């Protein structure tokens, strides 16, 4: 499982976005990370092994009424290819 105590300390210590990684293997882990205020989570192995379903995971962390968006609709994207 993620080290929720250390993650909570990092979130409280800095205003920088925190990306959690390591030990994330359940929807409950994602819910707790979201509750703590992390910006994102890396769940590579959990997806690869089937411990997490991508659609379910996105459903847990997406605000109600929104849908996952691609890179072209990201608030950080200009909508044009990088040069």
Predicted confidence at residue 60, as pLDDT, reads 86
**The two structure tokens encoding residue 51:** 């411990």
pTM of the model: 0.71
Q: What does the pLDDT look like over 18-38, one tens digit per residue?
A: 999 989 999 999 999 999 999
Q: What are phi and psi of 20, to 5 degrees?
A: -85, 145
Q: What is the DSSP letter of 42?
A: E
Q: How far apart are CA 11 and CA 80, in angstroms?
A: 32
pLDDT over 70, % of the chain: 75
């Amino acid at each position: 499982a993620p080290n929720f105590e250390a993650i909570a300390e990092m979130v409280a210590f800095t205003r920088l976005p925190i990306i959690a990684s390591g030990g994330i293997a359940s929807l409950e882990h994602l819910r707790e990370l979201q509750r703590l205020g992390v910006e994102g989570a890396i769940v590579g192995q959990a997806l690869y092994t089937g411990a997490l379903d991508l659609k379910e995971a996105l459903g847990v962390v997406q605000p109600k009424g929104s849908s996952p968006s691609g890179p072209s609709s990201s608030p950080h994207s200009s909508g044009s290819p990088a040069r």
